[in-house]
Every structure is written in C-alpha cells, then in structure tokens.
A = this chain, B = another copy of it.
Amino acid sequence: MAQAAAFWRPVLARALAGHGDLPVAAAMRYATGGGKGLRGFLVMQGAALHGVAPEAAAWAAAAIEALHAYSLIHDDLPCMDDDDLRRGQPTVHRKWDEATAVLAGDALQTAAFGMLCAPELGPAEARLRLISTLSQAAGMAGMVRGQALDIMAESAAQPLTLDQITDLQAGKTGALITWSAVAGARLAGADERPLTAYGDALGLAFQIADDILDVEGDSVALGKAVGKDAAAGKATFVSLLGLDAARSRAAGLVEAACAALECYGEPAISLQEAARFVIARDR
C-alpha cells in the first residue's frame, strides 16, 4: 500500500496546503496523515487493472482518503462514538476542540468533491460519474445511512439481527470501500461488476475483522480503544455469530472477493492479497 500512497499522498497534501496558521487547516492535514490507506490503495489498483494512469487515479484516491478522514473525525466526536484515540494519536476534537473537528470534517468532505473535478482524472463525463456515485456512497444512500442506523441501534429495545447488522455495515463501511474498488473501472468506462462484487465482499469481511479485533485486538497495535462494542452491549458479527463462525464467515467473503477478480488474471494478484491482509491484520 506504500507504493500506491506514494502517488496519492502528494496530491492530497497539495490539495490541503495553505491557510497557514488556521487550526482547522492543520487539523485537516493531521487527520489525513496516518492510516493504512486501504481505500486509496483500492483506487490505485483498480485503476491499474483498467489502464488508467496512476497520475490520474491519484486524484480519486486522494479524494476518497479525504472523505474517509472526514467520516472518522465526525465519528469520533463526543456526540457520536466519543473516542479519544485514532491511529494511536489523539482524535481531532481532543487535540484541538469540537468546533475545529466539526469544521475540519466538513471541509475535508468539501475538498473531496473538489478533487474529483481535477482535469487530470480524464473526460468530464467520467469525473461526473465519480462525483455522482460518491454522493450516493457517502450520503443517505450509503455511509451516513449506516451511521444513522448505528445510532438508532443504540437506543433500540432489541439488539440488531444479523441481516440488520449486515445492512448497517454495508452502508457504514462497505459503500466507500466498494466505491474505491470500482473507481478505476468507472473512470475507464469498463464493466463495473467484478470490482463491485470484490468491494462488497471485502467491505463486509473488513467489518467482521474489525469486530473480531474489537474483541481480540491489542489497543496499542490498533491505536484505538477496544472492547467498546461489548461494553455498550452492541450487537456485532462476533456477538451474533461467535468468534469462530465470524472468522470463517470473513474467510469465506475474502475467497469470494478473490474469485470475483479471476477474470483479470495475474494483474489482480495484489488486490487479492490485500483482501487476505484485511482479515489477517492486527490493526
């Protein structure tokens, strides 16, 4: 993922440069500075499969990483998940304050849509496809819908069922992961189905792995608190399936994700490896 990041990190850094001493600007750079860069990697690799130049794809990768960072900042707010640590560092509202965190998240979302207008990405129609589908994936048809369902679940009389958790997570984490995987095919105007199937399976496997790490993981390696879901009595894939079945469900999804890319042959190997990494990671 470091190779992919070498393309999109400079693009993101340039897009967020300037505004000297404003804490909001510093917070935007801080929030996009760490992380695995999974979504950016997916964009770069999916683009490579379709012959999209890395210099072009880097703009879409930078945009999705900015959008993802916005979602983490707001998700960590006291009125949301109330987290003090993210990627081993203080969350934005802990390092600065809540107002700075709200505004930095807001402006990162704005910046993400701006980056998708970059002429470097290619024909106008292709850029509009990315913008329009990102609006679907990030808004009430995707990520925010998942977060809204998550909030409702906290005050629900009954814990969620497996179908409901699956639906919630497809929005909360799945939609952006699938968008990332498919962006290259979309830029090239190619068949989106293989990467959509890959992204959907990967996104769900990713979330199951997250739930497992919340039970088994080490907060130091993870750089964030663990055991929060169990403490809050929240239904998760682990609480509903048990650890073993959750693990084998994740493994099955990863195999499905890999199988979906067989049509691409050898060039898809790094995406298949990434899928296996997602359930093997310790953070």
Contacts and interface: CB of A to CB of B under 8 A. Distances in A.
A97 interface: yes
Given A23-B152, A145-B19, A97 B114 contact: no
Q: How many copies make up the complex?
A: 2
B100 A77 contact: no
A147 B99 CA distance: 10
A152 B22 contact: yes
A133 B114 CA distance: 8
A104 to B, nearest CB: 8
A148 B79 contact: no
Range for the number of chain A residues in contact with chain B: 35 or more
Nearest to A114: B135
A99 B127 contact: no
Interface string A142-168: 001101110110000000000000000
Given A106-B74, A109-B106, A140-B28, A124 B114 contact: no
A113 B16 CA distance: 19
Contacts of A135: 110-111, 113-114, 117
Interface of A: 16, 18-19, 22-25, 28, 70, 74, 77, 79-80, 97-100, 102-103, 105-107, 109-111, 113-114, 116-117, 123-125, 127-128, 131-132, 134-136, 138-140, 144-145, 147-149, 151-152
